[in-house]
Amino acid sequence: MILLRVLVQRVSESFVEVDSKIVGKIGKGMLLFVSFSSDDFGMEEKISWMAEKILKLRIFSDKEGKMNLSIMDILGEILVISQFTLYGNVKGQNRPSFVEALNPEIANEYYDRFVFALKKSGLKVESGIFGAKMKVFIENDGPVTLILEK
């Protein structure tokens, strides 16, 4: 069962606004949309695994133009956005069902832990506001977009 889903986008820059105010802004790096599906005793391990995977993910170009470098190698920046709609289900229907998304109180706690796990890297890590109506501005680089699940 997949309990943690992250959509990764390589960006030249990105920022997020809440109520017309920028609450998080990065330059070259990664924009991460993150969602949780179930409360699980193993979630701490999954959060640590996902943070480490993201920090080691080689999606940045080396001198030859090959995706060989990680965010740590380029000292990039990370913007993390909570997005429960990653667990939207439209099978057999046109209106998404979000029953698979974790309840907001627990998801918010896990989201904060995930952001903290990334901040331990020493990189600049910014975030949106959990549960807020956000406008996310993205300058996708590539484009490069991946879905990671644990």
Q: What whole-number distance in Å separates Cα of residue 113 and Cα of residue 4?
A: 13
Given a contact cutoff of 8 angstroms between Cβ atoms, the answer to whether 90 and 136 are in contact is no
Tell me the catalytic residues: 83-85
Q: What whole-number distance in Å separates Cα of residue 118 and Cα of residue 114?
A: 6
Distances, alpha carbon 141 to alpha carbons 14, 20, 46, in Å: 11, 25, 27
The dihedral sign for the CA sequence 55, 56, 61, 64: positive
125 contact partners, CB below 8 Å, separation of at least 6: 77, 78, 79, 80, 115, 118, 119
Cα Rg, the chain, nearest whole Å? 15
